[in-house]
């Protein structure tokens, strides 16, 4: 079977775009800011435990810095991502990550219901990303 030059140059229908566009770069950066915002949310949520009611100076300073960074990255992400999607993904990353670290760092209980619930949050995040 002989292949023509035109057939070789046409990408398959399911392939990713081959060219870099400003729109793709902005979208990638927005989602990067959103993931980083979620990671900082995990930091400040866990940091709250270490502040002991904001009575310890350095854990409080780190927690407040993580809060500012989280909100700053979220604000940047929401320039390009719909607010409902962005906020849901941000809180989902924070909630799931904080729950997992609570189990790891503070020996919080683990149950099949908790694990399944965390998987639902993660699947929701993936679904929101896929629909954006």
Dump pLDDT digits (tens) for 16-61: 454 567 788 888 999 999 999 999 999 999 999 999 999 999 999 9
| Residue 38 within a domain | yes
Domains identified in the chain, total number: 1
Considering the domain boundaries, does residue 10 fall inside one?
A: no
* Residue at 4 is within a domain: no
pLDDT of the residue at 60: 97
**Does some domain include residue 117?**
yes
Any domain includes 15: no
Give the domain extent around 68.
22-131
d(CA 71, CA 31): 14
Query: CA-CA distance, 77 to 2, in Å (whole number)?
Result: 48
- Asked if residue 3 is part of any domain, the answer here is no
- Is residue 27 within 8 Å of 77, Cβ to Cβ? no
Q: With respect to residue 46, please indicate whether it lies within any of the assigned structural domains.
A: yes
- Whether 17 is in a domain gets the answer no
């Amino acid at each position: 079977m002989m292949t023509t030059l035109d057939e070789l140059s046409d990408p398959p229908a399911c392939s990713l775009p081959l060219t870099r566009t400003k729109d793709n770069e902005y979208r990638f950066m927005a989602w990067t800011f959103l993931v980083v915002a979620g990671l900082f949310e995990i930091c400040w949520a866990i940091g709250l435990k270490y502040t002991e009611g904001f009575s310890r100076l350095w854990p409080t300073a780190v927690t407040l810095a993580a809060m500012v960074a989280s909100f700053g990255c979220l604000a940047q992400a929401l320039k390009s991502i719909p607010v409902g999607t962005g906020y849901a993904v941000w809180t989902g990353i924070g909630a799931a990550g904080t729950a997992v670290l609570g189990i790891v760092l503070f020996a919080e209980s683990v149950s099949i219901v908790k694990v399944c619930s965390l998987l639902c949050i993660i699947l929701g995040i993936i679904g929101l990303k896929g629909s954006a």
